[in-house]
Amino acid sequence: MPSFDRYLDEQLSRGRAYFNRAEGLRALGLSAAAFSTAATRLTKKHRLASPRQGFFLILRPEDWTTGAPDPVRWIDPLMKYLGIDYRISLLRAAAFHGASHQAAMIFQVIAPQQFRDFDIGRHRIQFVYQAPTAFAHINQPEWLGQIKSEAGFAKVASVELTLLDAVRYFHKAAGINGVAQIVQDIGAKADPRKLAKIAAHYENASVRRLGYLLDQADHVRQAKALEPFAHHAKSMKPLDPSVMSLLESLAAVYEKDSKWKLVINTSVETDF
């Protein structure tokens, strides 16, 4: 049986910088107690890191400054290990699609199961829950892209899906101004037909907010594709629901956008 250090080197030579507990036990022939002791020792020596119990990352010297590899290199095998589908979205997806203002200091994953956020080294992994039924309708291969790394491919929301996720989960995307900046940066890349098709699976108010922001950014074709959703709206909604309640918004002296049926209860600012 190989030593633990040799096993890690062999994994890296195969381009595989991760393994799970069952694989390690099988390859090394150790008892569970001996395996845990050795893994703890190697973690202290900065050879291993563990984002979830039973799943290990093998650290190269270049990973030591950040404490772990870029999550895009291991999020797919981690989620497969957990048996849960996923997509990278929001700030990291926006940066991937060219949102220059998104430094993506946080790595956000949308999944149909609730997980606790966690830090590993300097990386912050944030899970955003989407109800399983909605997730199953939305997380279709044709609406996803791929981020390539030496470990393989990771699922990422398409431009269209990133825009809709950002406006739906705006509180996770630096607020309404953060979403407006994402729309400004990547909105022109969205395919109008695909955008409208995916939008059918989102709350009408979220779609109208996106339509308004696309209009403000002069992404005319994309905004026009969402106009039918506004036609079916039955009531006004606040542009920024975090500012105040709808009743308070209606009582205040705010502009009301009749096209998108929104109460413009906040000013939207972006860097051009």
CB 263 within 8 A of CB 238: yes
**Per-residue pLDDT, 250:** 58
pLDDT at 65 over 90: no
Instruction: Note the pLDDT of residue 201.
Output: 96
Residue 81 is encoded by which pair of tokens?
Answer: 């290990």
Could you tell me which residues come within 8 angstroms of residue 239 by beta carbon, excluding any fewer than 6 positions away? 176, 209, 212, 257, 262, 263, 264, 265, 266, 268
pLDDT given at position 251: 58
3-state DSSP call for residue 147? strand
* pLDDT computed for residue 213 by the predictor: 97
For a pLDDT cut of 70, what percent of the chain falls above it?
Answer: 94
Reply yes or no on whether the pLDDT at 247 is more than 70.
Answer: no
Q: What is the pLDDT of residues 89-115, one digit of tens each?
A: 999 999 999 987 655 678 999 999 999
Across residues 70-77, what is the average pLDDT?
A: 94
Res 246 pLDDT > 70: no
What is the distance between the alpha carbons of residues 209 and 212, in angstroms, rounded to a whole number? 5
Rounded to whole angstroms, the Cα distance separating 113 from 201 reads 18
Separation between Cα atoms, residue 195 and residue 202, nearest integer Å? 11
Task: Tell me: pLDDT of 87 over 90.
Answer: yes
To which H or E segment does residue 106 belong? strand 106-111
Residue 163 has a pLDDT of 98
For the sheet with 123-129, list strands across it.
118-120, 123-129, 106-111, 87-88, 152-157, 144-149
Give the pLDDT score at 266.
87
CB 184 within 8 A of CB 154: no
Average pLDDT over residues 167-186: 94
pLDDT, one tens digit per residue, over 3-50 is: 999 999 999 998 899 999 999 999 999 999 999 999 999 999 999 999
- Tell me the angle at which helices 159-168 and 192-199 cross, rounded to the nearest 10 degrees: 40
Cβ atoms within 10 Å of 256's Cβ, excluding its own: 13
Of all residues in the chain, what percent carry a pLDDT higher than 90? 81
Convert the pLDDT of each residue in 187-233 to its tens digit.
999 999 999 999 999 999 999 999 999 999 999 999 999 999 999 99
Cβ count near 205 (within 10 Å) = 22
End-to-end CA distance of the chain: 60
| Among 89, 239, 103, 99, residue whose Cα is nearest residue 175 | 239
CA-nearest of 213, 44, 77 to 155 is 77
Q: What value, to the nearest 5°, has the Cα angle with vertex 131 and ends 179 and 230? A: 50
Q: pTM of the entire structure?
A: 0.91
Determine the average pLDDT of the residues in 240-260: 76
**Burial annotation 120-139 (CB, 10 A radius, 16+ → b, else e):** bbebebbbbebeeeebeebb
| Whether the Cβ atoms of residue 200 and residue 225 lie closer than 8 Å to each other | no
The average confidence (pLDDT) of the chain is 92
Model pLDDT, residue 268: 87
Domains identified in the chain and CATH numbers: 4-69 (1.10.10), 73-232 (no CATH)
Give residue 1's pLDDT band: very low, low, confident or very high (50, 70, 90).
low
Segment 154-166, tens digit of pLDDT: 999 999 999 999 9
Per-residue confidence (pLDDT) for residue 100, from 0 to 100:
76
Stretch 79-83: mean pLDDT: 96
Is residue 2 very low, low, confident or very high in pLDDT (cuts 50, 70, 90)?
Answer: confident
